[in-house]
Amino acid sequence: QVTSNNKGTGCEFELWDCGGDTKFESCWPALMKDSHGVVIIFNADIP
């Protein structure tokens, strides 16, 4: 649930860890379909 201006709003999301590996490249179009945003998470300590 996301709260904005003291009003609760439903929110649905899925997290996928593809790691950027090209073996998942064929799945990327299906993962992006109907997507409205992207969250990129990385470890800055790993070059």
Task: Kindly list the domain boundaries of the chain, sorted by start residue.
Answer: 1-47
Alpha carbon distance 19, 28 (integer Å): 12
The average pLDDT across 17-34 equals 80
High-pLDDT (> 90) share of the chain, %:
2
**pLDDT higher than 80, residue 13:** no
Give yes or no for residue 46 having a pLDDT over 80: yes
Confidence grade of residue 32 (pLDDT, cut at 50, 70, 90): confident
pLDDT at 30 over 80: yes
CA 13, CA 37: separation in Å to the nearest integer?
A: 10
Confidence at 34, pLDDT banded by 50, 70, 90: confident
Per DSSP, 8 falls in state E
